[in-house]
């Protein structure tokens, strides 16, 4: 595994496969609960993913699934949406993701297997480190040990500082303030 700086969705836009951190919860409508972080972003980009993943979760449980029509892999990091991410579950998800490629290699000729075998890289965000509340220095060693080949690429967003001009109409002042943000995150409307 190697680690790069970039935006996960830029790679996806270029036709690459990405990992979406998930949990095992399904709501009353049968939809996967994808309410935060990268999962929420995936849901906003592809509304049908909640139904497709919800069906898989209800039918087969909280596992890694290739979601081929979205070029994504679900990647369980939590049992329930409201819990912290679990390092053991992340390790298990790494093993399952690796196994998807191993099984595909043994099932040549099968359409799904052929689709999987054509994937040259899988881009993985900092799973469990946003709303999952884990620390990257604890997660990355698990990923790099269990997904050791260069096909798997950890993507960290670049963190930048910029200067934002402001105007305070109450005090009649203008000025500049330094603000830290993730690359690609808008300065508009944030504090």
How far out from the chain centre does Cα 35 lie? 12
Output the CA–CA distances (angstroms, integers) from residue 8 to 15, 16, 31, in the order listed.
Answer: 11, 9, 24
Q: How far is 184 from 123, CA to CA, in rounded Å?
A: 17
Q: How far is 39 from 53, CA to CA, in rounded Å?
A: 11
Alpha helices in 61-189 (DSSP H): 87-105, 111-117, 136-146
Pairing relationship of beta strands 159-168 and 173-182 according to DSSP bridges: antiparallel
Tens digits of residue pLDDT in 84-96: 999 999 999 999 9
Tens digits of residue pLDDT in 24-74: 999 999 999 999 999 999 999 999 999 999 999 999 999 999 999 999 999
Q: What percent of the chain has pLDDT over 90?
A: 69
Domains of the chain, each with CATH number or no CATH:
2-159 (3.40.220.10)
């Amino acid at each position: 595994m190697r680690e790069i700086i970039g935006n996960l969705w830029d790679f996806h836009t270029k036709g690459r496969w990405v990992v979406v951190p998930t949990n095992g919860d399904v709501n009353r409508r049968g939809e996967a609960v994808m309410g935060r972080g990268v999962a929420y972003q995936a849901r906003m980009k592809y509304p049908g993913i909640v139904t497709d993943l919800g069906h898989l979760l209800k039918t087969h449980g909280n596992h890694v699934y290739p979601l081929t029509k979205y070029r994504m892999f679900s990647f369980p990091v939590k049992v329930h949406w409201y819990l912290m991410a679990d390092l053991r579950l992340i390790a298990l998800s790494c093993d399952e993701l690796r196994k998807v490629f191993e099984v595909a290699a043994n099932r040549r000729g099968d359409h799904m297997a052929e689709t999987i075998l054509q994937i040259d890289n899988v881009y993985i965000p900092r799973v469990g480190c946003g709303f999952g509340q884990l620390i990257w220095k604890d997660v990355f060693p698990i990923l790099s040990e269990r997904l050791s080949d260069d096909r798997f690429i950890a993507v960290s967003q670049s963190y930048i500082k910029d200067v934002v001009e402001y105007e305070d109409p109450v005090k009649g002042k203008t000025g500049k303030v330094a603000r830290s943000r993730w690359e690609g995150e808008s300065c508009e409307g944030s504090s």
